[in-house]
Amino acid sequence: MQAAFVKQDGYQCGYCTPGQICSAVSVLEEIKQGIPSHAQADLMAAPQPTGAEMREWMSGNICRCGAYSNIAEAMADVAGARA
């Protein structure tokens, strides 16, 4: 995940980056475990690492620099999905 953040410019000042990376790793693990989010229409279906799903899971992580789209790209890289 750290390498993906570097590759996708997932940070600017870096203040939020440690928390973003820890959350991103946990989010992908929870999606893999089948834990649904509020973004999921069918709570009985297995969650997928979609852009909407990852953004919902990460919505509590604030980045004052606004690097959100690049953070989503980094997560998609790791998940093998599209942001």
C-beta of 58 vs 79, nearer to ligand FES: 58
Q: Least distance to ligand FES from the beta carbon of 63, Å?
A: 3
C-beta of 38 vs 64, nearer to ligand FES: 64
17-24 contact pairs (CB < 8 A, 24+)? 19/61, 20/58, 20/61, 20/63, 20/71, 23/57, 23/58, 23/60, 23/61, 24/58, 24/71, 24/74, 24/75, 24/78
C-beta of 40 vs 63, nearer to ligand FES: 63
Binding site for ligand FES (CB under 6 A): 11-17, 63-65, 67
